[in-house]
């Protein structure tokens, strides 16, 4: 993506770290990981870099049920089903959205970077607990 040529060194550092991480991470986790790797970025800088990367369309964020935001690269787009009780979050195998036609149909004046989709409910163990008690 050509947008990446506009990145500052800090933004590049954050982007490269996100690239090496397997899962979604919070800004706090990124910050701790950067410190462990001897990078001297402040937490505010990490947040700013993440925001900028989001504006470039290369990083996506979503909020967990506990309110924490987690970040990942857009290329690793996944959808989730999340339990509202225990917070278990499981990626979906299949995307039901048609990437080609949906954006034009619903938001013709937007340049779409990515989409997210998340289902909420109760996981099996939590559902069992709810019906027992
Ligand atoms: Zn649950
Ligand atoms: Zn999708």
Same domain, 71 and 81: no
What is the number of domains present in the chain?
2
Query: Which domain CATH number covers 41?
Result: 1.10.10.10
Cβ neighbors of 127 (< 8 A, separation 6 or more) are none
Q: How far is the CA of 130 from the centre of ligand 2 (A)?
A: 31
**Strands of 12-133, DSSP E:** 25-26, 59-63, 69-73, 80-83, 89-91, 118-121
Same domain, 83 and 126: yes
Interval 84-109 mean pLDDT: 83
Q: How far is the CA of 16 from the centre of ligand 1 (A)?
A: 33
Same domain, 58 and 117: no
pTM summary value: 0.66
Q: How far is the CA of 5 from the centre of ligand 2 (A)?
A: 26
More confident residue, 21 or 4: 21
pLDDT tens per residue across span 55-75 = 988 898 988 888 899 999 886
Same domain, 38 and 93: no
Q: How many C-beta neighbours within 10 Å does residue 22 have?
A: 7
> What's residue 2's pLDDT?
44
Q: How far is the CA of 27 from the centre of ligand 1 (A)?
A: 25
> What's residue 77's pLDDT?
61
> What's residue 1's pLDDT?
43
For residue 3, pLDDT beyond 60: no
Same domain, 21 and 69: yes
| pLDDT above 90 as % of the chain | 46
Q: How far is the CA of 59 from the centre of ligand 2 (A)?
A: 15
Give residue 2's domain range.
1-75
Same domain, 68 and 100: no
Q: How far is the CA of 96 from the centre of ligand 2 (A)?
A: 6
Same domain, 62 and 42: yes
């Amino acid at each position: 993506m050509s947008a990446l040529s506009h990145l500052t060194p800090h933004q590049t550092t954050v982007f490269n770290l996100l690239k090496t991480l397997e899962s979604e991470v919070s800004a706090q986790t990124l910050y701790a990981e950067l410190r462990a790797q001897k990078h001297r970025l402040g937490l505010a800088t990490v947040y700013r870099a993440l925001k900028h990367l989001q504006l470039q369309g290369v990083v996506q964020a979503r909020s967990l049920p506990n309110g924490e935001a987690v970040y990942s690269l857009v290329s690793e787009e996944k959808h989730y089903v999340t339990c509202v009780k225990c917070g278990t979050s499981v990626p979906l195998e299949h995307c039901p959205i048609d990437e080609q036609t949906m954006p034009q149909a619903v938001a013709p004046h937007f340049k779409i970077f990515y989409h997210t989709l998340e289902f909420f409910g109760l996981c099996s163990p939590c559902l069992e607990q709810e019906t027992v008690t």
